[in-house]
Amino acid sequence: MRMVLMGPPGAGKGTQAAAICRRYGVAHISTGDMFRAAMASGSQVGAKAKAYVDRGELVPDDVTIGIVRERLSQPDATNGFVLDGFPRTVPQALGLDELLAGSGLKLDAVVLIEVPEAELVRRAVGRRVCPRCNRVWHLEFNPPPEPGTCSCGGELTLRPDDTAETVRARLAVYRERTEALKDYYAKAGILRVVDGSGSPQEVEALIAGALERCSE
């Protein structure tokens, strides 16, 4: 399985990517997670990405395609992968097609998770993450056992780009630059759109059904 999971900020891409990867035994490749890890380690890529991520803007395509190229060359990606949050621009989609074609491969499916805007803001601003084990919680929809504390004991934090203002900026960027990919993948015949407004389990079942139809 080689697939892309698309959707606006807070749509549930990370949550659903983890579930799909468990189901199919493939690698979870999140460009957002890679940028956050690069920023935390103080690497050159992290330094280039920081200003963009903090403002909710897209990191330039050449930097982003570069980290995906390197990640796809790692052994765990040869079995298949879920790309979470990449591509987000048409040049990134073209770059991905080129990377895969270089190894005689192509995407099996692109799943777009759609959620109403008010719900997206609610999901993002209520998200809390554990810097120790990276687990993602939600104050309302998936609360931690103890307020402010992860099940591993780590102190939960708000992602700096999860303030209501930055979430709205990220949503505007999504509408301007990423929505065009819907047409790109619809024309390729591999786009499946799912309603992401139900519970995580309901959305997981819709995605599983969409992926089964792709392989028929």
- Provide the minimum distance between the beta carbon of 31 and ligand AP5 in the complex, in angstroms, as a whole number: 3
Phi, psi for 102 (deg, rounded to 5):
-60, -25
Number of residues that bind ligand AP5 (CB under 6 A): 35
Joined tokens for residue 108: 């099996």
- Provide the minimum distance between the beta carbon of 216 and ligand AP5 in the complex, in angstroms, as a whole number: 26
122 counts as catalytic: no
13 near ligand AP5 (CB under 6 A) = yes
Distance CA 60, CA 180 (A): 17
Span 93-122, contacts to ligand AP5 by CB under 6 A: none
88 near ligand AP5 (CB under 6 A) = yes
The correct pick among 28, 127, 181, 191 for binding ligand AP5 (CB under 6 A) is 127
Distance CA 136, CA 138 (A): 7
| Per-residue contact string for residues 155-194; x = within reach of ligand AP5 by CB under 6 A | ------x--------x------------------------
* Cross-strand bridge partners of residue 138: 127, 142
Span 31-60, contacts to ligand AP5 by CB under 6 A: 31-32, 35, 52-53, 56-59
159 counts as catalytic: yes
Among the listed ranges 9-17, 69-77, 102-110, 182-190, the one in contact with ligand AP5 (CB under 6 A) is 9-17
Burial environment of residue 24 by CB neighbours within 10 A (0 to 12, 13 to 18, 19 or more): middle
The correct pick among 78, 103, 151, 199 for binding ligand AP5 (CB under 6 A) is 199
Place of tokens 């209520």: 126
88 counts as catalytic: yes
Q: Is the separation of the CB atoms in 3 and 16 below 8 Å? A: no
71 near ligand AP5 (CB under 6 A) = no
Residue from 159, 168, 177, 182 carrying the catalytic annotation: 159
Helix/strand/coil (H/E/C) assignment for every residue in 23-79: HHCCEEEEHHHHHHHHHHHCCHHHHHHHHHHHHCCCCCHHHHHHHHHHHHCCHHHCC
Distance CA 172, CA 174 (A): 5
127 counts as catalytic: yes
Distance CA 130, CA 141 (A): 16
- Provide the minimum distance between the beta carbon of 115 and ligand AP5 in the complex, in angstroms, as a whole number: 8
CB of 84 or CB of 215, closer to ligand AP5: 84
Known catalytic residues are 13, 88, 127, 159, 170
